[in-house]
Amino acid sequence: ADRIYERELKRVSRKFTHMRYHSFLMYFGVLKRLGWVEVTSETEPSAIQDNYPPAPERTYYRLTKKGIEAGNELWSNPLFTLYPEIGPSHMKKSD
The phi and psi torsions of 61 (rounded to 5 degrees) equal: -120, 165
65-76 residue pLDDT tens? 999 999 998 998
Separation between Cα atoms, residue 44 and residue 62, nearest integer Å: 15
Helix ranges, 35-77 (H): 65-69, 71-75
CB 42, CB 60: distance < 8 Å: yes
pLDDT digits (tens, 9 = 90+) for 20-70: 888 889 999 999 999 999 999 999 988 888 888 888 899 999 999 999 999
